[in-house]
Amino acid sequence: MMPNLPDLFGAPPEYPPRSIWQRACSGCGACCAAPDIAALGKPLGVACTHLGAGCRCQIYTERPQVCRSYQPDWVCGEVSALPTLAARVERFLEIYGLDSSGES
């Protein structure tokens, strides 16, 4: 019998429900720009130097394990529709209560 696993794409109760169709990576680039990635020396809120045109990873086949392990979730549906990478990063940081200036 399979255990009941949480639905990673189900928004928390304080957020409006996300589309049932947004269930995978949208390629929006927010996960490569918003969080810090110590394995790459990438600070919070700064786009990875390997993030190329169209928000595509330029070292995809050699990317570090932390990047390989990243699993899209409801936040992707929350930020991917925003028109710019900067807007996506701002919303991503806002959701997690982070501030790229070093304050929280």
Cα separation, 81 vs 64, in Å, equals 27
The per-residue pLDDT for 1 is 57
The per-residue pLDDT for 22 is 61
- Numbers of helices and strands, H then E, in the chain: 3, 2
Backbone angles phi, psi at 52, to 5 degrees: -100, -165
Q: What is the mean predicted confidence (pLDDT) over 33-55?
A: 94
- Condensed to tens digits (0 to 9), the pLDDT of residues 49-95 reads 999 999 999 999 999 999 999 988 888 888 998 999 999 999 999 99
The per-residue pLDDT for 2 is 57
The per-residue pLDDT for 58 is 96
The per-residue pLDDT for 31 is 94
Cα separation, 73 vs 10, in Å, equals 8
